[in-house]
Structure 1
Amino acid sequence: MRKTALGLARYPMVLATVAVGLLGGVLEISGQSDGARWLISGFAVLIALLQARRMIKDLRAGTYGIDLLAITAIGSTVAVGEYWAALVVCLMLSGGEALEDYAAGRARRELTGLLENAPHTAHRLQTGGGPEDVPVEAVEVGDRLLVRPFEVVPVDGVLLSAAATFDESSLTGESLPVERTRGEELLSGAVNGGEAIEVRAAANASESQYQRIIALVREAQESKAPFVRLADRVAVPFTLGALALAAGAWAVSGDPSRAAEVLVVATPCPLIIAAPVAFMAGMSRAASNGIIVKSSGTLEQLARVKTAAFDKTGTLTHGRPQVTEVHAVGIGPDQMLALAAGIEQYSSHPLAAAVVAAARGKTTGVPRAQDVTEVPANGVRGVVAGRAVVVGSGRFITAETGERTEAPPAGASGVHVAVDGAYAGCIALADELRLETRATMASLRRAGIVSTVMLTGDGEQVARHIAQQAGIDDVRADLLPQDKVSAVQAAQPRPVMMVGDGVNDAPVLAVADVGVAMGARGSSAASESADVVVTVDDLSRSARAVQIGRRTMRIAWQAIWLGVGMSVGLMILAAAGLLPAILGAWLQEVVDLACIGWALLAMRPSQAEQAESARMDQELRAAREDARKKLEKSA
């Protein structure tokens, strides 16, 4: 009850209007109709003067609104003696702000929830002492922090306790608890489980994941869509048409009350309120799906996107090479992999870590090596379990053994192995396609995307192999960052959406009509230059962003035309003398509520989106099953 009272106190004009209405009702009941008329009429004129003052201020700022129609509606109803209708218009005006605030609050609840959950303090552990509460901004890299049960991890860090359980739903959308063990990375924003833990800070607050999301959310909340400004401008012809109809009704009937009855139902509130509410609802829904849309205008662009361009490494693929196949000659595959890993654990080559990781997953493990020598740009030699092992490029192994090496599979890189002077086989490594990539491309096409393009600095052969697996139409390989910019600028049809994650993607994300950054583990530079940031490691969210943008635009237009249509219908009835002013004033409130309620539908997926989501889930399950069978076959 107290909360409701405090809420009403934010809107004194609503309270004043209700109070005047109650007092006027008492006067009417007691037989003092003249007193009620003068009280209510005087209050209505005061409201009209305040609105006129506000209208002039808005016009000077270049903003159009409902003020002119509202002022004329109040003035005309007072002039013809319909003072109770004038009071209802006053209630509509004063309550409109409260209604819009309520609707916007419903629409932005996901965004607001992120802000409310932001950590403000941290418990820093002092050397030889207990915890000290400090502002989260004061935490420095290397600080030991105490995170109590059910508290939010304040900054990105590393778990020092043996094990812990976290709720990461605000970051990843995953509703199930996540288990972490000592040494694993923790993202700020994760909620600790039921036991206190110790964490070592790995980043300060401004560079931590959750705080970056918070900054994006604040930027999103402050934006205003061009579509909303368009709706403001559409209010002008609507206003002129309503005034013309009111004047015509008066002229034809000879009754000035007809003009008042028309003007009472002729407010373009739906036109002005519906669009912002729909856009805020769409942005909120996107946030709940791990998609931060920085400006509501971006939703417009997402709704119109025709071409989708993608970086390859880290976007279409996982961004880390993995062993996909082991082909051995003369010895067992696991034995050859173990011998190669024994040497590769001492190598600095980017593919070496993948070979070692694959061997550790086998029962043989990684043996020790001796007398290891690395030959730059060629490979590594050494002795493992008394056997001479050489690992490296095909050219290097051929020079060592005099034997020809076999070519790796299409789209893969090959690490060749020689044992005791004889060619022993090839280990194929590839940066594998994300499981969701192919389903994402199919979903984008069903959403209306005409063309998909891959832009990558990788070689032509590898790029085309990945594009064929992903189902991408066009491939541009061997590109420098400036080449990607030129490709996006020249791409047709437009608008163009570019999806990427690395530092070198920042320029091309900035020049695209819609730049989408895979921000879960991606570059902060890419996130800053993008229009949309996907906070979970899931490429399919790019397709969902397009779907949300299109539904938001569709709902916004529907809400606007619903309001306009209902208002025009009521105006025609009023012009024909079939709608008394007092009833018309209340029906206009119904129109406003209907439009706002319709605009809030942007918070929910349509049936078509639900069907698309189910279809993507089915395609992902099939992709996982194929990957499992492939893994079993290679094992």
Structure 2
Amino acid sequence: MKIQSWLKKYRNTLILLSGGFITIGLVAEYVFHFEKLAVWTLIIASVIGATPILYQAYQALKNKVISIELLVSIAVVGAFLIGEYHESAIVTFLFLFGAYLERRTIEKTRQSVRDLTQMAPQTALLLNDENEVEEVDIDFVDEGDRLLVKTGAQVPVDGVILFGEGFVDEASITGESFPVHKKTGEQVFAGTILTNGTFQVEAQKVGEETTFGKIIELVEEAQDSKPALEKFINKFSKYYTPAVILLAIVVYFISKEVRLAITVLVLGCPGALVIGVPVSNVAGIGNGAKNGVLIKGGEVFDRMNQVDTMVFDKTGTLTKGKTAVTKYVSFIEEDRELLDFVVAIEKESDHPLAKALVTFLNEQQLTGNHVVEQTNVLEGRGIQAQIGEQILYIGNERLLEEANVRWSDDIKAEIKAIKEAGNSLVLVATPTKLVFLFGVADEIRPEAKTAIAQLRKMGMKRFVMLTGDNPITAHAVAKQLGIEEVHAELLPADKVAEVKKLQQANHKVAFIGDGINDAPSLALADIGIAMGSGTDVAVETSDIVLMRSSFKELVHAYGLTKKTMRNMYQNIFIALATVIFLFAGLFVGFIYMASGMFVHEASILVVIFNGMRLIRYQVRERK
């Protein structure tokens, strides 16, 4: 371990020394014709350069791995023994310099993670019971603490604003360039910056549990994960490297030329092949993180690239999830008490339709100050609840049909008209009759139609909407967005069944959703894509997270995965073409050991720079 630590600490110094002695040797030989000085400086350069390579080869052999370093080591030792000091010195220097460039490039592609880490808040202004402010280390902040955030400061935790308001720059979380106005009762996230205003925040998530902390963790894990193509290349290189050694032995026995056999070993190094895919992988994930698209690992690129069908949840995905009551009908005369019961029941739900009802009824000075004694949530249908002696059903037509509640043909006609106008329907009934009818509209995301059209032009073949909403409303939304295939009135289990049907028909499916009821489908699909504003469980079970919950991010994610996979295949082609060119040149007679190593290292630089192009990738608008 001491040798390894020493070599790691001084590896850049060794490269400089090796290069310096090679320069002195070449100047001594070709300028001053001082042969002895040239030979000894090249010998020293060879020993300096070979030391870390030989050690790495030894460590790999201890783990029963035949590595690239072993190929170079055998070649360099052989060249050294037959007196080819120029080759042994130059080959070791080029190999070490190439490894140095690889390290620098990988570090550069990981800059997105480093930037995120540096942006993490370090301190917080803690308010005690006497409203006195104390600056504390972020590690000492607990859930429930009250914190003061001033203009220009970072929000230190995920929390809710207790008092005050201001404009918050959320670029570190969502990538959104414009500050967002935040007021009392709204959520704020760690790592964001209060550009104007002052507010107090109650801490809800701290440290690694914050959205910002999870983003850093996700990106770090993703960049360390390997795509299927990289795993294949690593497996291939295990067989390829011994094959090159065997080829060198065969060449020696046929030609009886040690120099030629050694050159085969040098030229056969699969350096560009091994480095090409990881560079593309890390650069692609870094680009995604910078543009608000969290890609959870290299394997996601390969699977997303194969997707031919995108399946969308409706509420909160194709629509904003910000619903409002557009139609209210009462079928009883004295309705305020029952409406107050509805408020009390719906206040306990986070469903967008429930929030719309509560907002609407609160405006009618109904507060819902009643104790809900019993509730029974019926998936995909609604809720049955009891307050005192009163039992109420709140949900869709399916719920009331199961409860044997009936209504007249006139009411059916009114219901149909509301649904045809693109409204979702909420019915309220007692065990004997329908009492209220609400039409609730959910605004379609303005960029969704354009994004779907662009995805279609980029090669996506099929778009499907799955929703628990009624068929008429679902088809009205789908028609506006250009989605031909719709399945409505689905329970979460029904959505899973639809995804399975598509997969059984040999489709590669990406499911895009945001709610708890979407989690099973997100997990089952070949690719699960979660809106970042969705629930934690949806984000956790997905493969890709769209932090701004924007369809532009979805288009970017799809384009980025296709571009990254194309980049990986380009790098593999460059690497293999270089090896073929070098061997052809060797046997024809215009490639030698040192020049071949130069071309080999140049090919590594080519695949590195090709991979780095992904860092600047942006989707072009298609017309």
TM category (shorter chain) comes to: 0.7 to 0.9
Aligned residue for 1:458, secondary structure, equals coil
2:531 corresponds to: 518
Once the two structures are superposed, the pairs formed by residues 253-292 of structure 1 within 5 Å of their partners are 255-292=257-294
Counterpart-to-counterpart distance in 2, 1:47 and 1:167: 48
Superposed CA deviations along residues 468-521 of structure 1, whole A, max 9, x for unmatched, are 33333433333332332233233233322111111122222122221111122x
Give the CA deviation at 1:27.
Answer: 6.4
Aligned residue for 1:516, secondary structure, equals strand
Superposed CA deviations along residues 247-288 of structure 1, whole A, max 9, x for unmatched, are 676567654323333433332111111100100111111111
Instruction: Please say if residues 171 and 177 of structure 2, whose CA atoms lie closer than 8 Å, have aligned partners that are also in contact.
Output: yes
- Which deviates more, 264-273 or 227-236? 227-236
Give the CA deviation at 1:153.
Answer: 0.6
Once the two structures are superposed, the pairs formed by residues 140-539 of structure 1 within 5 Å of their partners are 140-160=142-162, 162-193=164-195, 197-236=199-238, 238-239=240-241, 242-243=244-245, 246=248, 255-323=257-325, 347-348=342-343, 354=356, 377=392, 407-410=417-420, 411-413=422-424, 428-491=439-502, 492-520=505-533, 522-539=534-551
1:618 corresponds to: none
2:13 corresponds to: 15
Q: Supply the AA of the counterpart residue of 1:228.
A: E
Instruction: Please say if residues 497 and 515 of structure 1, whose CA atoms lie closer than 8 Å, have aligned partners that are also in contact.
Output: yes
Match of 2:587 among 550, 575, 581: 575
Give the CA deviation at 1:231.
Answer: 1.4
Counterpart-to-counterpart distance in 2, 1:281 and 1:45: 31
Q: Supply the AA of the counterpart residue of 2:55.
A: L
Instruction: Please say if residues 158 and 186 of structure 1, whose CA atoms lie closer than 8 Å, have aligned partners that are also in contact.
Output: yes
Superposed CA deviations along residues 165-205 of structure 1, whole A, max 9, x for unmatched, are 32111122221233334444322221122666433334444
Give the CA deviation at 1:78.
Answer: 1.9
2:80 corresponds to: 78
Q: Unaligned regions of 5+ residues in structure 1, if any?
A: 1-7, 328-339, 361-365, 380-392, 417-424, 616-635
Instruction: Please say if residues 415 and 428 of structure 1, whose CA atoms lie closer than 8 Å, have aligned partners that are also in contact.
Output: yes
Instruction: Quote the sequence identity (%).
Output: 30
Residues 464 and 261 of structure 1: is their aligned pair in 2 closer, same or farther, counting only changes over 3 Å?
A: same
Question: Normalising to structure 2: TM-score of the pair?
Answer: 0.78
Counterpart-to-counterpart distance in 2, 1:396 and 1:377: 19
Residues 530 and 243 of structure 1: is their aligned pair in 2 closer, same or farther, counting only changes over 3 Å?
A: same
Q: Supply the AA of the counterpart residue of 1:481.
A: P
Counterpart-to-counterpart distance in 1, 2:25 and 2:213: 58
2:597 corresponds to: 585
Instruction: Please say if residues 281 and 603 of structure 1, whose CA atoms lie closer than 8 Å, have aligned partners that are also in contact.
Output: yes
Instruction: Please say if residues 22 and 89 of structure 2, whose CA atoms lie closer than 8 Å, have aligned partners that are also in contact.
Output: no
Give the CA deviation at 1:25.
Answer: 5.3
Please tell me whether residue 547 in structure 1 is matched to residue 552 in structure 2: no
Give the CA deviation at 1:326.
Answer: 9.3
Counterpart-to-counterpart distance in 1, 2:166 and 2:182: 5
Residues 252 and 548 of structure 1: is their aligned pair in 2 closer, same or farther, counting only changes over 3 Å?
A: same
Counterpart-to-counterpart distance in 2, 1:600 and 1:108: 11
2:141 corresponds to: 139
1:56 corresponds to: 61
Residues 50 and 440 of structure 1: is their aligned pair in 2 closer, same or farther, counting only changes over 3 Å?
A: same
Instruction: Please say if residues 407 and 414 of structure 1, whose CA atoms lie closer than 8 Å, have aligned partners that are also in contact.
Output: no
1:631 corresponds to: none
Q: Supply the AA of the counterpart residue of 1:495.
A: K
Counterpart-to-counterpart distance in 2, 1:183 and 1:138: 24
Aligned residue for 1:318, secondary structure, equals strand
- Which deviates more, 546-555 or 350-359? 350-359
**Superposition RMSD in Å:** 4.0
Counterpart-to-counterpart distance in 1, 2:410 and 2:7: 85
1:422 corresponds to: none
Residues 20 and 206 of structure 1: is their aligned pair in 2 closer, same or farther, counting only changes over 3 Å?
A: closer
Residues 142 and 255 of structure 1: is their aligned pair in 2 closer, same or farther, counting only changes over 3 Å?
A: closer
Please tell me whether residue 594 in structure 1 is matched to residue 606 in structure 2: yes
Counterpart-to-counterpart distance in 2, 1:461 and 1:144: 47
Aligned residue for 1:453, secondary structure, equals strand
Question: Normalising to structure 1: TM-score of the pair?
Answer: 0.77
Give the CA deviation at 1:597.
Answer: 0.5
